[in-house]
A = this chain, B = another copy of it.
Amino acid sequence: MASSSFLHSTHPTSSSSAAADASTLLLRYTPDFCAFAPLRPTRQLTRARWAPTPRVPAPEQPQDADPCCADDASSLSAPTASPGAVLRVGIVGFGNFGQFIAAGIQRQGHAVLATSRSDYSDYCARHGIRFFATVEALCEARPDVLLLCSSILSTEAVVRTIPFHKLHPDTVVADVLSVKQFPRNLLLQILPPGFGIVCTHPMFGPESGKNGWNGLPFVYDKVRVAQDGDQAAKCEQFLSMFEREGCRMVEMSCAEHDRYAAGSQFITHTIGRILAQLDLKSTPINTKGYETLLKLSENTVSDSFDLYYGLFMYNVNATEQMDNLEMAFEKVKQMLYGRLHDLLRKQIVERVPIPGAPSVMSNEAQINAAGIPSSLL
């Protein structure tokens, strides 16, 4: 893996003061963390910045180090970040997605520690993962990386209960939310200054990633990484797990991500939700295009409404995209009904004679006649 690909200038900012300026009514409902953060100007993407990373085959077997030994809660020794070393990743929020990410981390031979609202101790016992009943207990095990896999809606509450003082002062905190400005600004405001911050979005899940992660986009923004000490190396090692799984590594600012995601992922979820509302049914005469809509509708509702609501509520660009979609729909209707009215006017205002057919459309038909000059009609 090319370490250089992770070089990145950090850009810590705090949104809290800006947040206090909230004045308009609408803005009051938008999470402050998301709405008022000073944004880093969008960088023009070059092919090089998001070209697929050459696939590095994942090892068939976990690497030499043994996760179970490495995952020793009693060991409080400072974590090593030498390339070969096992990284100890503490996952907070161990639902479907947390488990899905944990499997990739383990495939790369690293250790997973986990905590969640629900009790996943049986699942963890079966998968060589150490489960902690509380986030406090997990922090006492002092993982190298704390990975937030909570839902968008619960993340703020989750972060506010983490006893950071129990963690190493240079711990790297990462998240995997489908929105990025919100967790970036939340972590910049709440985390102790020594903590590293890496915001990521694996743009796939248990369904689209069930046959491996090769070629699937993984967005990351090294929001705050100290270049001295182990932090930079730990951060690099964490990101390399996804690179080695074959992900297409896309380094992008959180603001950039949210702009792109609102115009693509949020629109896709919205179309899927609309189709689900239509309650589409398979017919004896499905076209290939219709089959893709049926599949999209099915995939969308397999996600929770909370996720869709999170994509809307926690991305400052979502409302604009919703408006664009509405305008596009209006435009299509206007193109159809407008043409209808033109035909009517021809008939009732201009008194255009309609030879032969009883239908106003036969007049239209003349204009479009294939192979027959209108004079013959």
Contact = CB atoms under 8 A, between A and B. Distances in A.
B154 A369 contact: yes
A364 interface: yes
A325 B19 contact: no
Interface stretch (A74-82, A225-233, A237-245, A333-341): A333-341
Interface string A22-46: 0000001101110000000000010
B277 A261 contact: no
Nearest to A299: B289
Copies in the complex: 2
A157 B377 contact: yes
A131 to B, nearest CB: 11
Given A93-B370, A135-B372, 8 more contacts: A29-B344, A156-B365, A157-B362, A157-B370, A161-B372, A278-B325, A306-B368, A326-B333
Interface in A100-116: 115-116
A78 B333 CA distance: 50
Interface string A116-150: 11100000000000000011000000000000001
A365 to B, nearest CB: 4
B260 A158 contact: no
Q: Give the most central of A268, A288, A289, A358: most B CB within 10 Å.
A: A289
Contacts of A370: 92-93, 95, 116-117, 150-151, 154, 157-158
Secondary structure dominating the interface of A: helix
Contacts of A154: 365, 368-370
A324 interface: yes
Contact of A357 (B115, B117, B160, B325): B160
Contacts of A50: 284-285
B292 A265 contact: no
Contacts of A196: none
A267 B250 contact: no
A297 to B, nearest CB: 10
